[in-house]
Structure 1
Amino acid sequence: MKVLVFGESGQVARALALAGPARGITIQTLNRGKADLSDPAACAAAVRATDADAVINAAAWTAVDAAEAQEDAAHVINADAPGAMAQACAARGLPFVHISTDYVFEGSAGDPWTPDAKTAPLGAYGRTKLAGERAVLESGALAVILRTAWVFDAAGKNFVTTMLRLSETRDALSVVADQIGGPTPADAIADACLTIAQKLVDGTGQGGTHHFSGAPDVSWATFARAIFRAAGRTVTVTDITTADYPTPAARPANSRLDCTSLQTAFGIPRPDWQAALTRIIKETTP
Structure 2
Amino acid sequence: MNILVTGSHGQLGSELRKHQEIQGRQGWFFADIPDLDITDASAVERVCRDRQIGAMVNCAAYTAVDKAESDIDAAFRVNRDGAAVLASVAKAAGALLLHVSTDYVFDGSSNRPYREDDPATPLGVYGQSKWEGEEAIRSIGCSHLIVRTSWLYSAYGQNFVKTMLRLGRERESIGVVFDQVGTPTWAADLAGAIVSMLDRLDPARSYAETFHYSNEGVCSWYDVATEVMNAAGLSCRVMPIESHEYPTPVTRPPYSVLNKRKIKNAWGLEILHWRQSLLKMLEELREGGGNS
**Unpaired segments ≥5 residues, structure 2:** 288-292
Residues 176 and 40 of structure 1, relative CA distance in 2, 3 Å threshold:
farther
Alpha-carbon offset, residue 180 of structure 1: 0.7
Q: What CA distance in whole angstroms lies between the structure 2 residues aligned with 1:29 and 1:206?
A: 23
Asked if structure 1 preserves the Cα contact closer than 8 Å seen for 2:2 and 2:54, the reply is yes
Which residue is equivalent to 2:235?
A: 234
> What is the distance in 2 between the residues matched to 1:40 and 1:11?
24
One-letter code of the match for 1:116? D
Q: CA deviation at 1:206?
A: 3.9
Which residue number in structure 2 is paired with residue 3 of structure 1? 3
Task: Judge which range, 128-137 or 18-27, deviates more.
Answer: 18-27
Residue pairs, 1:1-286, within 5 angstroms: 1-23=1-23, 25-26=25-26, 27-200=28-201, 202-203=203-204, 206-285=207-286
Deviations 1:133-181 (A, max 9, x none): 0111112111000000001111321011000000111121110001111
User: 1:12 Cα deviation (Å)?
Assistant: 0.4
In 1, Cα distance between equivalents of 2:2 and 2:105: 30
Q: Secondary structure at the match of 1:64?
A: coil
Cα drift, residue 20 of structure 1: 2.1
Partner of residue 290, structure 2: none
- Could you tell me how far 1:80 is from its partner in structure 2? 0.6
Q: 1:63 to 1:44 in 2, by over 3 A?
A: farther
One-letter amino acid of the structure 2 residue matched with residue 270 of structure 1: I
Decide whether the 8 Å contact of 1:178 with 1:253 is kept in 2: yes
| SS of structure 2 residue aligned to 1:237 | strand
Give the 3 Å change call, closer, same or farther, for CA 198–28 of structure 1 in structure 2.
Answer: same
Asked whether the 8 Å contact 2:39–2:85 carries over to 1, the reply is: no
CA-based RMSD: 1.7
Task: Answer whether contact 1:54 1:201 (CA < 8 A) is retained.
Answer: no
Confirm or deny: 8 A CA contact 2:153 2:159 kept in the other structure: yes
Answer yes or no: is the 8 Å Cα contact 2:184–2:215 preserved in 1.
Answer: yes
Partner SS, residue 174 of structure 1: strand
Tell me the SS of whatever aligns to 1:9: coil
State whether residues 100 and 149 of structure 2, in contact with CA within 8 Å, keep that contact through their aligned partners in structure 1. Answer: yes
For the residue of structure 1 that corresponds to 2:66, the secondary structure is: helix
**C-alpha distance in 1, partners of 2:263/2:154?**
22
What is the CA-CA distance between 1:96 and the residue it aligns to? Answer: 1.0
Compare 270-279 and 99-108 and name the one that shifted more.
270-279
CA contact (8 A) 1:100 1:146 kept: yes
Q: Which runs of 5+ in 1 are unaligned?
A: none
Question: Which amino acid in 2 is paired with 1:103?
Answer: Y
Deviates more, 1:85-94 or 1:269-278: 269-278
What TM-score results when the alignment is normalised by the length of structure 1? 0.94
Letter in 2 for 1:32: I
Cα distance in 2, alignment partners of residues 2 and 39 from structure 1: 21
SS state of the match for residue 240, structure 2? strand
